[in-house]
Chains A and B, each alone.
Chain A
C-alpha cells in the first residue's frame, strides 16, 4: 500500500503566479488534511476535506487560497497570486476515518516564491 503521495516535491514560483499542489491519499482513505510549515515553525492546520466536501477550513487564509478533493483524482491546494510569505512546506495527510484516527503524512511540497 503506497503512502500519501504529494507532487511536486519542490515548486518555484514568481510573485503573482499560481501554485497548484497535489495530494493523493493512501488507498482507502477518504479524509484529507492540509498543513503548512513555515521556516523554523511547527505545522499549522489549514483545511480538512472529505470526498467532494470541505469539512473544516478554519485555518485557510481568507484570500488566494482554496482546496478541493474531487470524487475522482487527487486533492488540490491552490494558491493564487503567490507572495514571498507563501514560501513554506505544505504537507498533506490522510486517514481512513475522521476523529482521532491516525493521520498519515506525505513528504510535503516545498514552495519557494521568488
Chain B
C-alpha cells in the first residue's frame, strides 16, 4: 500500500518570499511522484512530476521539487511567490505496480499575502 502525507495543511507567506510545501510518502516499491495545483472551483493542473533520472524536477510557474529517496520526500519549492500562486497544492504518488491509481495527500493551502 502507498500513502502520502502533506505535513502542513496551511502555509501563509508574503508576496516575493520563498516557500516550501512538504510531502512525504510511503511505499514498498518504486514510485512516481506528482504535484498538482487546484485553484478555487477548478480541476487539478499538473505542476511537475518525477518518474526517474535527475532528482531535481522543474515545473511550470517557477516551481521545482526534489525527490529524496532516503527520506521518502518530494518537497515543492518556489524562490519567490506571487499573489496568483494562492491555491491548494496536492502531492500524489503512484506505484510502478499499481497501474494508474493516484494516491493524493490531504492538500496544502498556500495563501500569499501582499
- Chain A residues in contact with chain B, CB under 8 A? 4, 6, 31, 33, 35, 41-45, 48, 55-56, 58-59, 91, 93, 95, 98-108
A95 to B46, CA, bound (A): 12
Q: Is the CB of A107 within 8 A of B99?
A: no
Report the separation of the CA atoms of residues A95 and B101 in the bound assembly, to the nearest whole angstrom: 12
On whether the beta carbons of B105 and A58 are closer than 8 Å, the reply is no
List B79-96 residues whose CB lies under 8 Å from chain A: 90, 94, 96
B90 and A43 form a contact (CB under 8 A): yes
A43-B90, A100-B94, A107-B43 in contact; A33/B107 too (CB < 8 A)?
A: no
Q: What total of A-B pairs shows CB separation below 8 Å?
A: 65
| Interface contact B100-A31, CB-CB below 8 Å | yes
CA gap between A35 and B101 in the complex, in Å? 10
Q: Contacts A42-B90, A100-B32, A100-B51; is A59 near B46 (CB within 8 Å)? A: no
User: What's the interface size class on B, roughly?
Assistant: 20 to 34
Q: Is the CB of A42 within 8 A of B106?
A: yes
Q: Do most interface residues of chain B lie in helix, strand or loop, or is the interface mixed?
A: loop
B57-114, CB < 8 A from A: 90, 94, 96, 99-107
Complex contacts, A56 vs chain B, CB 8 Å: 99-101
Can you offer 21 A-B residue contacts whose CB atoms are under 8 A? Answer: A4-B43, A33-B102, A35-B102, A35-B104, A41-B107, A42-B104, A43-B90, A45-B102, A45-B103, A48-B100, A55-B99, A56-B100, A56-B101, A91-B44, A100-B32, A100-B100, A102-B46, A103-B100, A104-B46, A106-B43, A107-B43
CB of B42 within 8 A of CB of A107, answer yes
